[in-house]
Structure 1
Amino acid sequence: MRVAEVMTAPPLTTTTDAGVDDALALLGHHHVTSLPVVDATGRLQGLLHEVDVIRGRVPHQAPGAPSHSTPPSVVADVMAPVPARLGPDTDLATAADLLGSSSVTSLPVVDGRGHVVGVLSRSDVVGVLTAAHDRDDGLDPLVRRLLQLACRAPSVHNTQPWLWRVDGPVVELYADPARQLRVSDPDGRNLRISCGAALHHLQVAARGLGQACTVERLPSGPASTLLARVTLEPTPETPDGEAEARADLDAITARVTDRRRFTSWEVPAPRLEHLAAVGAREGCAVVPVVDEGRRHRLEELVEQARALLSQDPEVRAEQQAWVQRSAHDGVPVPATEGPATRFDDRPVVDPGGIDRADGVLVLATPTDEPLDHLRAGAALSRAWLTATTGLLSMVPLSHVVERPETRRALQDDVLGSALVPQLLVRVGWQESSRERLAPSPRRPLADVLVR
């Protein structure tokens, strides 16, 4: 298969002499994170990345913060080199390798004269390559694609604790009790948060593929393993809606859990507040922790939870059992690396990974019932996809809420006892020069289908 059969055409581009503010508006309006840059004749000159446009354009307001010079005014001054060029006749497998080895989520497609004729994104490649699998499952191709995208959701220890049952346009989501972490998650809270993220991924994928969702949560009650029933129906999309939905599809395929230390570049407060706001739309409070005193207390609790975890042989054995567990699930060894991660059982000597520049979000709910857990998972999914589109990285720190003593202290000392904490999330910028981590493996679709 060739790139021309998959690419998006005609492409959305900007020009070298365009104003940076105009290009920024174009990025935001179409919900994309990068644009090919062309000259007056349409020939490719570079790539414009959202992160390069916003860098230095949000003023620091803290006392003594460094001043910045006037930011560049035209695209030519901020565009980046193109890491790789694709032609319409490039083999799709080669294109997939190039996308996987670069930090960008899409690459321009250029004809023999150097003119940009299309754009190929990771989601384009994933959609084609995954369609080659699971063809004997009897599913409608659209539903198969939806489930493949839903199963890209984050889950605790990459346990993927979900099952799906399909009956025509109705898709049911079940918890998989066999994948519950019995020691660290005896009540199944993290399991349901993971399933809530998968449910939201399904909704996002459905919208991106032209389907409306009617969702009934806990249709058989909170004690049942049936967590949701989703009815699909085709729906027309507006051009603006299509652009946003496509950005979400790209984010699903680009999202990874990268626990490595973030850069020292602070997450601007408006960006953190935006993540909190979009996450809160899913029915879960998302609280940015910006107060110095509360941040300090939060870091103490992160370290206390990790110390308690490292001293518990049953918890340690359970989580180590999920490191490099198989080719289809568990946490790959490269994804365990980071500052004082829960997978490091050495004594605590390094601060808990919450540096001064890191953004911190707490997902919390009014009560602590199964429906709250599903909504927390949806909020995590929504905030994470939005962060990925904005080139931000997110790392859940679930161990703080797994230990009863640190969870109570988090509720009392950081949230003021008003809400029940469900998850702590670290937000920041990854080094752009680092090799990108590969997405964690996923179970074959046949393994998560209930007949």
Structure 2
Amino acid sequence: MRVAEVMTAPPLTTTTDAGVDDALALLARHHVSSLPVVDAAGRLQGLLHEVDVIRGRVPHAALAGGTPGPGAPPAVVGDVMAPVPARLGPDTDLATAADLLGSSSVTSLPVVDDQGHVVGVVSRSDVVGVLTGTAGDADDGLDTLTRRLLQLACRAPSVHNTQPWLWRATGSVIELYADPARQLAAADPDGRSLRISCGAALHHLQVAARALGQGCTVERLPAGPGSTLLARVSLEAGPDQPGTPPTDADARADLEAITARVTDRRRFTSWEVPAPRLEHLAGIGARAGCAVVPVVDPGRRHRLEELVEQARDLLSQDPAVQAEQRAWVQRSTHDGVPREATEGPATRFDDRPVVDPGGIDRADGVLVLATPTDEPLDHLRAGEALSRTSLSATTGLLSMVPLSHVVERPETRRALQRDVLGSALVPQLLVRVGWQESSRERLAPSPRRPLADVLLH
């Protein structure tokens, strides 16, 4: 078995000129102990270990409050990084990688191509995955780049973490299909939430393609609005070598956001999200075909909160919806909402499991995703807007939680359009935005289906 078949890609990296404090935050945010260090072109320069970052950065009590002297810790990563104990290539035999990991103090090693670009990271846990039979998608028949793109696309948010998408890859063309078997019959009989979820995956795919050196042309609903074929994406090699790590900061941030994003339904802090931050998110999310509307007016905000609670009460009285939601909590190791995301002192869940939280706190920011009409293309566009907004929120260290139940009931959806939007725009989704407690343990990403389960041949 080759390293390329089990490595994590794209890798999380830092740069030689990055601030050490920024690198420290990156290590903490992603719960990793080391990072490959690359230059502006993505070529491997060294390794940054957490022990190197923290050494000398916490003053002893006797020195607290003093001014840094000549011995102050380095400010940039290039001054504190360590040499790489061994270099692996994508074609390196996994047994060789395992021997190197076992004989060194590091828990992971970077994987570089012939030009020295970092294309992945292989860790001891990757090797353990092979030994226990839990390694991912090595036998899916995909080339390395396509597999990487689809793995990233499948990190998109979806209603109840149903992941209701299927993919067909043929050469440079990737097709996205809805998976009707994963439609929520009780809560989503028209398939609106299903298509919104697929739209988010479509945008994740576009982001990943751009970041990995691929241009792409998207044809939405190529077989018409009644087909399960939702999009056809044609890939084209960009100016950079396909599959190489991104060289610009925006592309790196996009990839970090895809891997870091989680739906954390726990109660936000009491810190308000400033209106300019909401406006910025709305501007990022809004594109042709979908508007993102911040709700900041006190009167409309109060009415929205009433509608959210009304929708929760209505759904709590629907036995079919309740049974469906319970079925998707702790459903399996590959899908559904993990129980840790529904329990604990800071959660909004109670004995009546509702996968979308019921209330909106005073400090929560609120955005409404709305479209001109209510057709399948609108739903797909709303999903793409959801992806854009959530990735931007993640980059800005904000947490974002979609609320679908207020649009699942016709009466609350009509009232949301009339009383809150006050326009002809059709509400597709409500999201709340806020800050998580910095001291709170970060939730692990929700589980994902193996690629073999979502591939059409």
TM-score range, shorter chain: 0.7 to 0.9
Please point out which of 425, 428, 437 is paired with 1:422.
Answer: 428
> Structure 1 residues 96, 191: CA separation in 2 closer, same or farther (over 3 Å shift)?
farther
Residue 416 of structure 2 is aligned to residue 382 of structure 1:
no
Q: CA distance change for structure 1 residues 9 and 304 in 2, over 3 Å: closer, same or farther?
A: closer
Instruction: State the distance in 1 between where 2:396 and 2:234 align.
Output: 30
Q: Using the alignment, how far apart are the partners of 2:292 and 2:12 within structure 1?
A: 36
Q: Hey, what does 2:416 align to over in structure 1? A: 410
Would you say 1:392 and 2:398 are equivalent positions? Answer: yes
CA contact (8 A) 2:246 2:252 kept: no
Superimposed CA distance per residue, residues 265-311 of structure 1 (whole angstroms, 9 cap, x where no aligned partner): 11111111110001002531000000111111111111101111111
Read off the aligned partner of 1:158 and give its amino acid letter: N
Are the counterparts in 2 of residues 266 and 428 from structure 1 also a CA contact under 8 Å? yes
Q: 1:425 to 1:44 in 2, by over 3 A?
A: same
Map of 1:210 onto structure 2: 213
The CA distance in 1 between the partners of 2:285 and 2:266, in whole Å, is 23
Q: Is the counterpart of residue 321 in structure 1 residue 327 in structure 2?
A: yes
Q: What secondary structure is seen at the aligned counterpart in 1 of 2:233?
A: strand
Secondary structure (helix, strand or coil) at the match of 1:163 reads strand
> What's the counterpart of residue 369 of structure 1?
375
**Alignment gaps of 5+ in structure 1:** 17-29, 31-36, 48-75, 80-84, 98-119
**Quick check: 1:259–1:337 contact (8 Å CA) kept in 2?**
no
**Which residue, out of 12, 17, 20, partners 1:12?**
17
Counterpart Cα distance in 1 of 2:277 and 2:409: 30
SS in 1 for 2:248: helix
Q: Partners of 1:228 and 1:6 in 2: how far apart?
A: 27
- Evaluate the alpha carbon distance shift between residue 96 and residue 215 of structure 1 in structure 2; reply closer, same or farther with a 3 A threshold: farther
**Contact residue 150 and residue 198 of structure 1 kept, 8 A:** yes
Equivalent residue, structure 1, for 2:201: 198
Q: Closer, same or farther in 2 for the Cα pair 1:370/1:241, shift >3 Å?
A: farther
Contact 1:279 1:382 (C-alpha < 8 Å) held by counterparts = yes
2:287 is aligned, of 281, 285, 288, to: 281
Conservation of the 8 A alpha-carbon contact between 2:213 and 2:246: no
Matches within 5 A, 1:89-238: 89=85, 133-236=136-239
One-letter amino acid of the counterpart of residue 195, structure 1: C
RMSD: 3.8
Residue 117 (structure 1) aligns with: none
Once residues 396 and 153 of structure 1 are traced to their aligned partners in structure 2, the CA distance between those partners, rounded to angstroms, is 12
What do the CA deviations read for 1:77-110 (whole angstroms, capped 9, x no partner)? xx9xxxxx9984595999889xxxxxxxxxxxxx
Determine if contact 1:6/1:125 at 8 Å carries over to the other structure. no
8 Å CA contact 1:400, 1:407 repeated in 2: yes
Tell me the residue number matched to 1:345: 352
2:271 is matched with: 265
1:442 matched to which residue of 2? 448
TM-score, structure 1 normalization: 0.73
Question: Structure 1 residues 95 and 373 mapped into 2: Cα distance closer, same or farther (>3 Å)?
Answer: farther
Tell me by how many angstroms 1:45 deviates.
6.1
Relative to 1, partners in 2 of residues 1:282 and 1:428: Cα closer, same or farther, differing over 3 Å? farther
Which blocks of at least 5 consecutive residues in structure 2 are unaligned?
22-39, 41-47, 59-71, 76-80, 87-100, 109-117
Higher mean displacement: 230-239 or 404-413? 230-239
Residue in 1 that maps onto 2:303: 297
Indicate the SS of the match to 1:264. coil
